[in-house]
Structure 1
Amino acid sequence: MSRHDHQSLPPELWLTIIRWATYAPLGLDLPNFEPFYGSSDHDSQGEADAKAVKCAVVQVCKLWRDLALGILYEDVKVGRGVQSLVEVLGKTYNDEPLGRCVRRLELPYHHTATITNTSSDLALQILQQCPELETLVRPFMQGSPDTVRYEFPIRSHSFLNLKRLEWWHYNDATRSGGINSLLDVLRHSPNLQYLVLGGEMRTYTQTGNALELPALKTLRLRRMNPLFVRQICQWRLPSLVHVVVDFPLEHNTLDTIWQVFGARLCTVEFARHVGFLLSDQITRFLHGCPQVKAFNYFLNFTSSPPIFEQPCALECISLHAFPCGMITDMITEAQERLTLHLAFLSRSSFPALRRIILYGDWEELLRDPRFVQFRQTMISRGCSIERATGDMHSCDQTLSV
């Protein structure tokens, strides 16, 4: 590219190119619900490559530095150099503090340990320097959580712009309150839209006035114990419409979620976990959520339910064809599972069902005579079968091979 071309391209186009070149899958998590988003394997190498490209881009020229410096600092994981990070985020570039660029922050618990009454000050300084923060992640601790000590209380922080919170609960950390306490953080996050929760809660907290999250639309449940679910069911969630379940909870604990929130839900999604193969979770959820409009699940990771004969309001079912390595060698069982799933979808009482959307690689399944017959049956009932791209031509071409 000539020097003239470099100067003639508008900054908006350069920004689009830089954004495309430095995007890592799942790097920045959005507050909006999208089917099967976040169910893929974590791409650590992709994130590392994207960060390396960002670092290289800001050193090319002043124009690229001006455009990409905000991208470089929009996604920050607090690591070993905490003091250096505090200093960098406090610096200004083009009269703007770099901390204002941060949109997503991953804050491990060992940075908010309270061994002394000032040991967590650096973490609080980082939060104070990120007023535009939209996503906060308190991740699962690698190694033994017992090695991190919480002996003093920690201050609270206001998260006025926070839209997404991913929280792994630790009882010892919660005792120190403030930014280590889920309830405290939720009370200071009035605009939260997407909440991801996991962990084992040992002590039920009576909140007095019920905790209310007025803007929360999506709740994602990871592995958690019944006491944690009981706590969640005490909250007021007037805007909740989407529930994603990463793991079938023990002792049919999910039934409590369906009983409390099921009547208002529009979407339920089962994530990619082999635990859903061990028991029929679909029938229980359909009984508890009669008004749900959309249901998403992984065909090869979900136990095939019996025919559902109670009418419900389902309008759209999304199926993901991601292969399950545990059943790859059990061809007969896999084929039987496909037959049972197709029977469930075609013979159950879903009078409002109008769309079935296919995600993932369906090339082989689309050629299967059972699926061809299933497709014809559903179309005759006014239910379309679409690829996730929305291009039915690719589906028709595959079927005609």
Structure 2
Amino acid sequence: MALPPELLLQIFRWATWPPPAVKFIAEYTPFAECNTTIPRDDPSTDLNLKYNLVLLSRQCRSLATEFLYEHIVFTRPREDAFDIVPSAAWLVSTGYGRYASSVHICSYQAPIYSYYDWAPILCACPNIKLAMRPSFGSPRTFRNATPSPNPIPDPTSITRLEWEYSANFNVPLFRTLAARLPHLHWLSLTSLGTGAHALHPTSGVLRLPRLRTLCLRLENAAMYRELARWDLPALTHLIIEEQDVYVGGVHERGVHHLFEKLGRTLETLELGRGKEKHFRQSDVVSLAVTLCPHLRQLSYYPRYAVIPSVARSAIVATGLREVCLHIGSLEELDLELFRMHMLRLIEWLRRLEELDDLALYGDWSTVLEDSELRKALDASSWKIYYRDDTV
């Protein structure tokens, strides 16, 4: 029995849904999954599934082609992988580039001679909103690479960019691309395990006039100094996913300088995605409320952060109206220690004179069985919201 085209279309929409790493959203929500940076996984399995579906019949191909090419993965394929997008020129000749909403520049399996080799794909995909660039290869391979004679075009539709900043060849490439993104609203930067030598050539000021949200996953203290040289006049949301457990003190100084530079416009700060426990090493919350005068929303994991030490008189974030607390994983949770920790935190939160809302994310049911903790919350004047549907 032949299935109606409408049902087939729904089946293919389900089967060809973009992989989980693809996040088009450029608006911030506390602790949302779309806040996290891209993984370094191999997308070939998802691509092979899509490719096989459209080969079932001519009708299947006509129904699913648009879905197949909405997320472009550009790479030099392995011998056992399907070459769904062989080149940017092929996208232009077929017209499939118009379907693309995102492009993922992933690992090359064969060496390339310039880190600009993939740039023409941006011309072939005029409607992309998201560009992702994870780490790949060896920095030595591209240390002497020179720009292509064909410059990167102006992909004006891109609003979200996710970038691995940990290698020499990705640094100048990022600056070349970012300067051509006038509508960039969301930027996720990852910098893991790279020394300061990779950042030396980037002393110039980078201006991103419309960037609203900056998400950082950094294990490189030099990266904080690099960010302090950027000009982000519209930045209102900052997400710091993690910091290196081995250089926590260095990062506290780096965050201090970062807040001094960017804190004047910040309205929202989220801490602790990724390796949440690393925030136990430094009092980032105190830095935020003393250096970010316009902060209105603060979100973090109280289990993995120290109790703020700043006195009421030193708090400049007098407009802080909402604090969002995520309990995180319940594994290995010492209820008694956490209860005492929360009682001390509630006492400190009373120093925030304009605080109106306290939002609790995750499963707090076990913790809130404690009568003393419930009494402390009930005695406050805050509106308390429970958001247990957020992971």
Q: TM-score, normalised by structure 2?
A: 0.78
Q: CA deviation at 1:221?
A: 1.7
CA RMSD between the two structures: 3.7
Q: Say whether the 8 Å CA contact 1:229–1:257 is kept in structure 2.
A: yes
Q: Please tell me whether residue 136 in structure 1 is matched to residue 131 in structure 2.
A: yes
SS in 1 for 2:72: strand
Q: Which amino acid aligns with 1:68?
A: A
Equivalent residue for 1:321, pick from 305, 323, 327:
327
Given that residues 204 and 228 in structure 1 are in contact (C-alpha distance below 8 angstroms), is that contact kept between their aligned partners in structure 2? no
Separation in 2, partners of 1:79, 1:247: 29
- CA, structure 1 residues 21+104, in 2 after alignment: closer, same or farther (shift >3 Å)? closer
- Going from structure 1 to structure 2, the CA distance change for 1:174 and 1:79 (only over 3 Å counts) comes to closer
Partner of 1:151: 144
Provide Cα deviations, 1:1-48, integer angstroms capped at 9, x if missing partner: x75x835x599xx55982598354443342222222346697889978
Decide which of 353, 356, 367 is 1:354's aligned counterpart. 356
Q: Name which of 158, 165, 170 aligns with 1:169.
A: 165
Check if 1:269 corresponds to 2:270.
yes
Return the letter of the residue paired with 1:386: Y
Q: 1:355 to 1:120 in 2, by over 3 A?
A: closer
Distance across 2 between alignment mates of 1:73 and 1:133: 11
- Check if 1:369 corresponds to 2:375: no
Of 278, 281, 284, the match for 2:284: 281
Offset of 1:262 from its aligned partner? Answer: 1.0
Alpha-carbon distance change, 255 to 353 in structure 1, aligned in 2, over 3 angstroms: same
CA distance 1:17–1:320, change in 2 (3 Å): farther
Superimposed CA distance per residue, residues 343-383 of structure 1 (whole angstroms, 9 cap, x where no aligned partner): 333x3x222222122222222223332342233123xx2x2
TM-score with structure 1 length normalisation? 0.76
Q: What aligned pairs does 1:194-343 form with structure 2 within 5 A after superposition?
A: 194-199=186-191, 200=194, 201-202=196-197, 203=200, 205-207=202-204, 210-248=205-243, 250-272=251-273, 273-306=276-309, 308-310=311-313, 311=315, 312-323=318-329, 328=332, 330-343=334-347
* 2:387 corresponding residue in structure 1: 388
Match of 2:64 in 1: 68
Larger RCO, structure (CA 8 Å, separation 6 or more): 2
SS in 1 for 2:379: helix
Change (3 A) 1:37 1:20: farther
Q: Does the 8 Å contact 1:192/1:213 carry over to 2?
A: yes
Q: Quick one: distance in 2 between partners of 1:352 and 1:27?
A: 37
The superposition leaves residues 188-226 of structure 1 with CA deviations (integer Å, 9 ceiling, x where unpaired) of: 11111111223244205332xx43211100111221544
Contact 2:51 2:84 (C-alpha < 8 Å) held by counterparts = no
Structure 1: runs of 5 or more not aligned:
391-401
Aligned equivalent of 1:399 = none
| C-alpha distance in structure 2 between counterparts of 1:86 and 1:46, whole Å | 15
Deviation at 1:160, TM superposition (A): 1.6
SS for the counterpart of 1:153 is: coil
| Counterpart contact for 1:15–1:67, Cα < 8 Å | no
- Does the 8 Å contact 2:76/2:110 carry over to 1? no
Q: Determine if contact 1:258/1:285 at 8 Å carries over to the other structure.
A: yes
In structure 2, relative to structure 1, the CA distance for the partners of 1:146 and 1:43 (3 Å cut) is closer
Cα 1:21–1:107 change in 2 (3 A) is: closer
Task: Indicate whether 1:189 and 2:181 are aligned.
Answer: yes
Report the count of equivalent residues: 367
Look up the match of 2:32: 37
Instruction: Out of 14-23 and 32-41, give the one that drifted further.
Output: 14-23
Q: Distance in 2 between matches of 1:121 and 1:211?
A: 20
The amino acid of 1:230's aligned partner reads R
Shift of 1:122: 5.0
Deviation at 1:286?
Answer: 1.0
- The residue identity in structure 1 corresponding to 2:23 is L
The 1:48–1:25 alpha-carbon spacing in structure 2 relative to 1, beyond 3 Å, is same
8 Å contact from structure 1 (residues 304, 340) kept in 2: yes
> 2:87–2:121: 8 Å Cα contact kept in structure 1?
no
Runs of at least 5 residues in structure 2 that lack an aligned partner in the other structure? none
Give the whole-Å Cα distance in 1 for the aligned partners of 2:65 and 2:374: 52
Q: Do the aligned residues in 2 keep the contact of 1:316 with 1:356 (CA within 8 Å)?
A: yes
**TM-aligned CA deviation for residue 245 of structure 1:** 0.7
Q: Indicate if the aligned counterparts of 1:263 and 1:289 stay in contact, CA closer than 8 A.
A: yes
Amino acid corresponding to residue 325 of structure 2 in structure 1: L
Q: Partners in 2 of 1:244 and 1:41 — Cα distance?
A: 11
Q: Distance in 2 between matches of 1:171 and 1:40?
A: 20
Aligned residues: percent identity?
A: 20
CA 1:112 to 1:73, structure 2 compared with 1: closer, same or farther past 3 Å? Answer: same
Q: How far did 1:52 drift? A: 6.4
Partners of 1:339 and 1:389 in 2: how far apart? 21
Cα pair distance change 1:218/1:261, threshold 3 Å: same
Instruction: Mark the CA change 1:183 to 1:46 in structure 2 (over 3 Å): closer, same or farther.
Output: closer
Q: Is the 8 A contact 1:86 1:126 kept in 2?
A: no
Structure 2 SS opposite 1:231:
helix
SS of residue paired to 1:123: coil
Could you say if the C-alpha distance between residues 374 and 215 of structure 1 is closer, same or farther in structure 2, counting changes exceeding 3 Å? same
